Chains A and B, each alone.
Chain A
Amino acid sequence: GAGVSQSPSNKVTEKGKDVELRCDPISGHTALYWYRQSLGQGLEFLIYFQGNSAPDKSGLPSDRFSAERTGGSVSTLTIQRTQQEDSAVYLCASSRLTSLRGNEQFFGPGTRLTVL
């Protein structure tokens, strides 16, 4: 079956512009996560969705970052007034809902964002 997909694969933007990154999770996965990976670094958690609600937004670095999920499926991460330090690969992951707190997360290919 289809895995997690993300678009665009690459995005180059100018400082101060807004960008939207899209994630299509695996069908039937109710949990969706956004992470950020800077060059040569580990993955940094941004936000978690369960269905359309976001019970954990603790990783969003500033109020310039927001995300939404509609229909329990596609999610969009929006970065307003982009800064050079926002340059990174933005990864989306999805997982099934289970009774356990932790369960396997499947990652998308990421969107490489470059802010000039």
Chain B
Amino acid sequence: GENVEQHPSTLSVQEGDSAVIKCTYSDSASNYFPWYKQELGKRPQLIIDIRSNVGEKKDQRIAVTLNKTAKHFSLHITETQPEDSAVYFCAASPRRALTFGSGTRLQVQP
């Protein structure tokens, strides 16, 4: 089955800096790669997703890149703000269910 590795497990940045979270996946059949943000005690919320026919997607301060050859995708957050502090999960989907990474706890220091 699919296996998703996510790094780093924790990330601390200063407000205004950029943050990058990286994931790798194992199943070449995966064609959908969402990123979820989960605040403490809350449900996961989709922040951006990318499909395998696209190499990059941007939405304001957030961007995701996908390298299908390397089976690697990354989340980039620019101009970080304290409200970006949360746990971020990447996921890959070779069928309908999602296989999640283990999460990255991002802390933005004001």
Determine if B89 and A105 form an interchain contact, defined as CB atoms under 8 angstroms apart: no
Assess A43 versus B95: contact at CB under 8 Å? Given A109-B43, A110-B43: no
Determine if A105 and B98 form an interchain contact, defined as CB atoms under 8 angstroms apart: yes
Query: Shortest Cβ distance from B79 into chain A, in angstroms?
Result: 25
Residues of A within 8 A of B46 (CB): 104-106
Q: In the complex, which of the residues B30, B31, B34, B100 has the most CB atoms of chain A within 10 Å of its own CB atom?
A: B100
Number of A-B contacts (CB under 8 A): 71
Contact with B along A35-66 (1 / 0, CB 8 A): 10000011111001010000110110000000
Determine if B99 and A107 form an interchain contact, defined as CB atoms under 8 angstroms apart: no
- The docked-state distance in angstroms from the alpha carbon of A41 to that of B33 is 19
Partner of A56, one of B42, B43, B91, B97: B97
Determine if A102 and B93 form an interchain contact, defined as CB atoms under 8 angstroms apart: yes
Q: Which of B1-52 contact A (CB under 8 A)?
A: 1, 6, 30-34, 36, 42-46, 49, 51
- The docked-state distance in angstroms from the alpha carbon of A42 to that of B88 is 10
Assess A102 versus B102: contact at CB under 8 Å? Given A56-B95, A56-B96: no
Query: Shortest Cβ distance from A111 into chain B, in angstroms?
Result: 11
Residues of A within 8 A of B (CB): 31, 33, 35, 41-45, 48, 50, 55-56, 58-59, 91, 95, 100-110
Q: List 17 contacting pairs A-B, 8 Å CB cutoff, sorted by A.
A: A33-B98, A41-B103, A42-B6, A43-B44, A50-B96, A56-B95, A56-B97, A58-B1, A101-B93, A101-B94, A101-B96, A102-B49, A102-B96, A102-B98, A105-B34, A107-B44, A108-B43
Known: A56-B95, A101-B94. 15 other contacts (CB 8 A): A33-B96, A43-B44, A43-B91, A43-B98, A55-B96, A59-B97, A91-B43, A91-B44, A100-B32, A101-B31, A101-B96, A102-B33, A104-B46, A105-B34, A109-B43
